[in-house]
Amino acid sequence: MEFLKLEKVYNGRYLKNYELTYLNKAGKEKKFELVSRKEITCKEELGLRPSGVSIVAYQDDRLLLLKEFRMSINKSIYNLCAGMLEKGESLEDCIRRELYEETGLGVKQIISILPPSFAAVGFSDTTTYAAFVEVEGEIEDHSSVNEDIHAGLYTKEEVKELMEKEEFSSRSQIAAYFFVQGFKPTEEK
């Protein structure tokens, strides 16, 4: 595939839509629609700057999961605590802020932060970090009026039961599966 051009077709407050033109293997032009959280001016910027973080959080032997309403699918699903990096904010501060806003919990220890990975490579260049965190405190709702989030700390048995009956985002489903299988990171950052 040979890249030919990039054109912005919509400039929303949070999302920008682009049309990419490629020359396919048969030598014909192929148009591809892309959604990005970032301003992109050239192909070298695609996927270059991470947008936020997904947080796999534990308290003792329980996994933090959020049941949250997602407008894009018009229903509530189980998800990880996550959020966007604000301008000038460190990744560690973003983790602390998002945990507090969505759950009221504090960070006891950041165990590990993985390098950025693509969140939805089929239609977006968005990359996010994955952080493994030990949390402390009690759950309280500090979320915005535009969010419907219900945080909970779940045992392995409870998570296993949720996975059989409820719908999850892909990252939270993977985290839940490994939690049920006994995986819990313990190395310090």
106-136: per-residue pLDDT in tens?
999 999 999 999 988 889 999 999 999 999 9
83 and 156 in a common domain: yes
> Does residue 95 surpass a pLDDT of 80?
yes
Does residue 129 sit within a domain?
A: yes
Does residue 188 sit within a domain?
A: no
Q: Which residues of 146-157 are buried (b: 16+ CB within 10 A; e: fewer)?
A: eeebbbbbbebe
User: Cβ distance 93 to 99 under 8 Å?
Assistant: no
68 and 115 in a common domain: yes
Does residue 187 sit within a domain?
A: no
68 and 148 in a common domain: yes
The contacts of residue 50 (CB under 8 Å, 6+ apart) are 85, 116, 127, 128, 129
Burial group, residue 102, by CB count within 10 angstroms (0-12, 13-18, 19+): buried
Does residue 44 sit within a domain?
A: no
> Does residue 189 surpass a pLDDT of 70?
no
Percentage of the chain beyond pLDDT 90 is 85
The contacts of residue 108 (CB under 8 Å, 6+ apart) are 133, 134, 135, 136
Q: What is the mean pLDDT of the chain?
A: 94
Q: Confidence class of residue 162 from pLDDT cuts 50, 70 and 90? A: very high
Q: Where are the alpha helices (DSSP H) in the chain?
A: 91-103, 156-165, 170-180
- pLDDT value of residue 129: 96
Residue in 116, 119, 122, 117 with CA at minimum distance from that of residue 34: 122
Does residue 41 sit within a domain?
A: no
Q: Give the domain CATH number at 138.
A: 3.90.79.10
The contacts of residue 8 (CB under 8 Å, 6+ apart) are 16, 17, 18, 40
176 and 94 in a common domain: yes
Does residue 46 sit within a domain?
A: no
- pLDDT value of residue 188: 55
Q: Which two tokens stand for residue 147?
A: 């969010």
Does residue 43 sit within a domain?
A: no
Residue in 81, 72, 78, 69 with CA at minimum distance from that of residue 148: 69
Q: Which domain holds residue 121?
A: 52-180
